[in-house]
Amino acid sequence: MTRRLRACALRAWLGLGLAVLLAALPLARAQAQDMATLLADRVFIDSASRLIAEGNVEALFGTTRLQARRVSYDRTTDQLVIEGPLVISDGADVVILADGAELSDGLQRGLIRSARVVFDQQLQIAAARVERLDERFTEMTSVVASSCEICAERPTPLWEIRARRVVHDEENLQVHFENAQLRLFGLPVLYVPRLRVPDPRLTRATGFLAPRFSFDTGHGLGLRAPYFIVLGTDRDLLLTPFVATRGTRALELRYRQAFATGRLELGGLVARDAIRPDRNRGFAQASGDFALGRGTQLRFNLIAPSDRGVLEDYGRGEPRLTSDITLERITRDTRARAQLLQFRSLRLRDTNAELPNQVGQAVIEHRRDVPGLGGVAGLRLEAHVHRRSRAFVGLPEPLPGFGAGPRPRQTERVSLDLDWRRDAILPGGVLGAGALHLGLDHIRLSDTGGVFDRAVTRVTPNVMAELRWPLVRRHADGVSHVIEPVAQVIWGRDRRPDLPNEASRMPELDEGNLFSLDRFAGRDIREAGLRGNLGISWTRHDPDGWSSRLTLGRVWRGADLGQFSDATPLAGRQSDWLVAVSVDMADGLSLSNRSHFDDGLALQRTGLELDWTAPGYTISTSYMRILRNDFEARSGTASEWSFEGSREITDLWTGQIGWRYDVTQQQLARAQVGLTYQNDCLRVEMGVERRFDAASSTGGRTSFGLNLDLLGIGGNPTRARRACADQP
């Protein structure tokens, strides 16, 4: 018969609480329990000083739970004896299974026989004996530690650490191994006299992270051994030395600090290698994001490499770099932003001294409702300056907005945009809109060689009228169709001053700007003349969870003002036809395509992207084709197909493959293949990549990577465990 005793022998319950200490639980937690609960088939007092509970004994101390066959406490000797099999658990953090336990010496010391300790349902430690030394340390002897599931059919774990002695530090959440031996598949591969690994419950700890092996044609066989240093609760430092067989010696660092109002990250690399011998190489990087109050945000991202190829040589390949410092404040109706930017190209064919790579700009935008007149009015004020290190000779043949001759060393511009728009519902469900826009620009140029005026003031007015007629049809099965024809007419002045075009050399025609007043990205040049934007869209919504959209449109102009080069979709009195299609399926399939066709329906440009995520595999592929355009610095037609995909071969093996294929040149630009093995305690990643050409260096490069992670320690969580019957 089960009996309940509440607080009848408080010291006995504290003794049971100290038994929980054998599981390396905090002493304060046990002592904080003023009340405990004991459940057993039989509870009795054997003598004046001895309390015995036997038969399905269960003791509860807050979140801690002890289960045993028999428990006895002798008050005279201060000795607590627990006969197993016993189980001690504290939620999901720590679980101990043992044959038995004893406490003595004022209930401060104890011993557990034939124990297995499980931390956070991940790291398991089996020991012949576990001895509680004091409130902080627990000692284990003849230890085997692993996070692998062990089955009768597979008694040898994939990896294990064997040690003569292990000490668990409850205060610092560290596990110290003495005479440790790492075994893979039962075979010893590494001996370490002393080894320290973090308790799985510890999210940040100083120490080495998992090493990374690599091989490539530039460095040879290499090893990265990251070392993580905790500098405080808000700061840490990561040092990653890199050594390789072809003479590479490098050190990469990353410092992070969190503040009450933001974050800061500093990083860099110093290296000596055989790729560029007899010189130091590296880069420095800084980024941050801070809230300054009253909706103001400060962001910066700065990077400075020592040479064009260092980022690509060390796995940070970016053909163009952007450094910026941004101060921004956004409220309900106003946005203010000030920026300093620097653009740097790492491409071999680009000369940074001739690029407008130093930019400063400030923008204020404000909108508000207009009482009486209705609609919304907007104001945009911008100050912009960009400069290059030296003036250079432009393209030999004049192009729209880009005359022959030296390019200005520095351009300064102040622009003011005033606009107003009002929407209304007309009879028959037609949506009408009217808008006014006025653009004012004052531009000053330096070092033009007389090709352009040194100072120009430009006025660009626009008047717009728009009609939309959305037609909706719903079927009995829940499918709905929306067809919306749109007609937009814009009047603007034909006069266009001849000015250099630095920021708007690649205008696009897409479904996002088909009905737009201006398709240029910057204010160097503004779209002018009388023009009409016509289009129609069809959207289908299905209750099964998928939708599709088709957009067809074109731009007609009253006169060809030569604003766009002939190879762009917007050139001439009539633009190319825009056809855009998108499909989103409930099963994870997403497809989008944008194409441009001329009057003869010949394909001029196209971009296709398909993404598909399904159980067991993922696919991401894209294709693009763009005609030659000297104005956009494209010397030949570009056509490229890229593919990235992964497939779960089994529950444990996943394969990856990818490539980038130059259709015009009929050759691969990049190819890669990878294989990943992951079970409940081990992850192995292998991959080979071949770059046939690089933007910042000549020749190709082949690299091989091998990463091995022991899951369950060092901050790498294990994956969901399966029943032993499901194990291969």
Tens of pLDDT along 347-379? 877 778 778 889 999 999 999 999 988 999 999
Cross-strand partners of 94? 90, 119
Counting the structural domains of the chain, the total is 2
Looking at per-residue pLDDT, the higher value among 461 and 136 belongs to: 461
**Per-residue pLDDT at 152:** 66
Cross-strand partners of 418? 379, 438
Q: Is residue 587 part of a domain?
A: yes
**Per-residue pLDDT at 2:** 38
**Is 587 in contact with 563 (CB distance < 8 Å)?**
no
Q: Is residue 664 part of a domain?
A: no
Average pLDDT for the chain: 84
Q: What percent of the chain has pLDDT over 70?
A: 87
Structural domain ending residue among the three candidates 175, 202, 229: 202
Half-sphere exposure of residue 656, counting CA atoms within 13 Å on the CB side?
14
Q: Other C-beta atoms within 10 Å of 423: how many?
A: 14
Please choose, from the candidates 12, 109, 113, the residue with its C-alpha nearest in 3D space to the C-alpha of residue 61: 12
**Is 201 in contact with 171 (CB distance < 8 Å)?**
no
Please choose, from the candidates 622, 631, 620, the residue with its C-alpha nearest in 3D space to the C-alpha of residue 594: 622
**Structure confidence at residue 17 as a pLDDT band (50, 70, 90):** very low
Question: For the segment 170-203, what is each residue's pLDDT rounded down to a tens digit?
Answer: 888 888 999 999 888 888 988 889 888 887 777 7
pLDDT > 80? residue 151 = no
Q: Is residue 679 part of a domain?
A: no
**Per-residue pLDDT at 582:** 96
235-249, 271-285, 393-407: the lowest-pLDDT one: 393-407
Q: Is residue 545 part of a domain?
A: yes
Q: Is residue 313 part of a domain?
A: no
pLDDT > 80? residue 660 = yes
Structural domain ending residue among the three candidates 145, 172, 202: 202
Looking at per-residue pLDDT, the higher value among 486 and 157 belongs to: 486
Structural domain ending residue among the three candidates 202, 227, 256: 202
**Is 512 in contact with 519 (CB distance < 8 Å)?**
no
Q: Other C-beta atoms within 10 Å of 649: how many?
A: 14
Looking at per-residue pLDDT, the higher value among 631 and 500 belongs to: 500
Q: Is residue 242 part of a domain?
A: no
pLDDT > 80? residue 106 = no
The average pLDDT across 669-696 equals 86
Q: Is residue 529 part of a domain?
A: yes
**Is 716 in contact with 210 (CB distance < 8 Å)?**
yes
**Structure confidence at residue 699 as a pLDDT band (50, 70, 90):** low
E strand residue ranges, 388-452: 410-425, 431-446
Please choose, from the candidates 481, 462, 474, 470, the residue with its C-alpha nearest in 3D space to the C-alpha of residue 421: 462
The average pLDDT across 492-510 equals 82
Q: How far apart are the first and last CA of the chain?
A: 45
Ramachandran sector of residue 572 (left: φ over 0; alpha: ψ -120 to 50; beta: rest): left
Provide the CA 266 distance to its chain's centre, in angstroms.
18
Question: For the segment 18-74, what is each residue's pLDDT rounded down to a tens digit?
Answer: 333 333 333 333 333 444 677 888 888 877 678 888 888 887 766 778 888 888 888
**Per-residue pLDDT at 576:** 94
pLDDT > 70? residue 673 = yes
Q: Is residue 490 part of a domain?
A: yes
**Is 73 in contact with 47 (CB distance < 8 Å)?**
no
**Per-residue pLDDT at 92:** 60
What type of residue sits at position 324?
D
Cross-strand partners of 341? 324, 359
What type of residue sits at position 112?
I
Half-sphere exposure of residue 316, counting CA atoms within 13 Å on the CB side?
20
> What is the Cα–Cα distance from 111 to 709, expressed in whole angstroms?
34
Provide the CA 142 distance to its chain's centre, in angstroms.
43
Half-sphere exposure of residue 553, counting CA atoms within 13 Å on the CB side?
27
**Is 644 in contact with 631 (CB distance < 8 Å)?**
no
Structure-block tokens of residue 95: 């679980």
The domain in which residue 73 lies consists of: 3-202
Provide the CA 531 distance to its chain's centre, in angstroms.
42
Q: What percent of the chain has pLDDT over 90?
A: 42
